Amino acid sequence: MEDVLGNSSFSDYFSTGFPLQSMLDFSCEGDTMPLGFMELLGVQDLNPSVFGMTPQAPLVTQPLNNPCSPKIESPAEILNQPATPNSSSISSASSEAVNDEHAKVGDQEEDQQKTKKNDGGSRLKPKKTNQKRQREPRFAFMTKSEVDHLEDGYRWRKYGQKAVKNSSFPRSYYRCTTTSCNVKKRVERSFSDPSIVITTYEGQHTHPSPVMPRSSLVSGASAVATTFGMGMQRTPSHYQQPFAADALSPLNSGQNGSSFNPSFLHEGSFCSPGASLLKDHGLLQDIVPSHMLKEE
DNA sequence: CGTCTTTGACCCGCGC
DNA sequence: GCGCGGGTCAAAGACG
C-alpha cells in the first residue's frame, strides 16, 4: 500500500482511469456517517469558525473516500478497523496515517522537530538520518468551488506552488500560520473538472481555530452549518466530504473504470438515503466534536 | 509595518 | 548514477 497522495497527483488519477469513481459512488448503505475527519485532522476543539467557508464561494465538497461505500476495500481499510463507530472507515486512511494516529499527539512535537530538521535545516546542512521523512496523516477533500483556497477557519500561508504533471492547474502549498502548528495543506484543481478543488490536509492542528478569518467574518457559525451540516440538506449543492488519502489508491481505481461524473456532486446524495442522517448528526456529528453536539 | 503571495532555486525520494 | 517530479525555502514584491 502506497501513500498515494504523497507519490502522485490527483490529476494523475483523474486522468488515468478515474479511481475517484469509487469514491464518488456514494452508495451508502450504512446508517451512519462514520467519518470523524476533523478528529483525524486533529481538530479537537472545533469552534464554529472552523469551516467558515468563504460565503461567496459555492461549495460542493466530497471526501475522496466514501466511508459508506463498500466498494472501497483497500487493505489499509481492512486492516485498520475503526476504533469508534464514528470514525469507522476513516481509518481507512493510509496505513501511514494510521500509524501516525497511534503516535499522534505524543510524537507530534518530535515530528515537528524532525520536520524542521529535515525540511528546514537540511537545506543547507547535510541531512543525516536514516529515517524516511515522516509524513503526517493526510486527508483530502474534493470541493466544488470557484475559489482555490477555501476558508476553513484557520489561517494559512502559501509557501509554494508547483505545476503538476499531467495537469494544467498548479498545486498550491499552504501552511498553518500558527507557530508550532505545522499543519499543511495542498490545494489543486481537478484536471478532469476544473470546478473541483482538491484540498489535502496534512498533519494535525495543535491549537484551536484562530479568530475568524478576515474573509469569513460575515458568516461564522452559519457558514459551518451551511457548508457542513444542515446546509447540506438545504442546499445539496453545498457539501463537503472528507476522504482518507488512501482512497486514491490504485487499488481502488481498479474497481471501476468508468469516468468520474462531477454532476453527481450536485445531487446532494452522498450517502444517498442519508439525507436524514445529516439532519440528526450527519457530517456535523463528524466534524463537530461530540461534546459540542451534546451541548446542543 | 505586518502579512501574504509569488517565484526561482534547491533538496529529496524514487524509478529507470 | 541520473533524471524527473514533488515538496520546500526564502527573497522580493504586493497589499492593506
The kind and range of the H/E element at A201 are strand A196-202
Sign of CA dihedral A57, A59, A64, A65: positive
User: Cβ of A113 < 7 Å from strand C?
Assistant: no
Residue A58 is classified by DSSP as -
Average pLDDT, chain A: 49
Q: Tell me: the pLDDT tens digits for A163-190? A: 888 778 888 998 888 777 778 888 888 8
Query: Gap from A153 CA to B3 C1', in Å?
Result: 17
Which of A61 and A96 is assigned the larger pLDDT?
A: A61
Q: How many CA atoms lie within 13 A of A48 on its CB side?
A: 11
Measured CA distances, A28 to A62, A75, A122, A241 (Å):
13, 20, 46, 13
Enumerate residues 6+ apart whose C-beta is below 8 A from A118.
A127, A129, A133
Q: How confident is the model at residue A232 (pLDDT cuts 50, 70, 90)?
A: very low
Burial of A4 (0-12, 13-18, 19+ CB in 10 A): buried
- Checking each nucleotide's C1' against the CA of A125, the nearest proves to be B11
Average pLDDT over residues A81-88: 35
Query: Gap from A248 CA to B10 C1', in Å?
Result: 29
Q: Which three cell numbers stand for residue A158?
A: 502559501
User: Cβ of A114 < 7 Å from strand B?
Assistant: no
Q: Tell me: the pLDDT tens digits for A190-214? A: 877 778 888 888 877 777 766 544 4
Residue A131 has pLDDT above 80, yes or no: no
Q: Tell me: the pLDDT tens digits for A29-43? A: 334 333 344 444 444
Residue A210: the pLDDT is 62
Count of positions (residues) in chain A: 296
Residue A63: the pLDDT is 53
Burial of A129 (0-12, 13-18, 19+ CB in 10 A): exposed
Which of A246 and A187 is assigned the larger pLDDT?
A: A187
Give which of A70, A15, A62, A67 is closest to A266, Cα–Cα. Answer: A62
Residue A139 has pLDDT above 50, yes or no: yes
Q: Which three cell numbers stand for residue A114?
A: 524532525
Query: Gap from A98 CA to B15 C1', in Å?
Result: 27
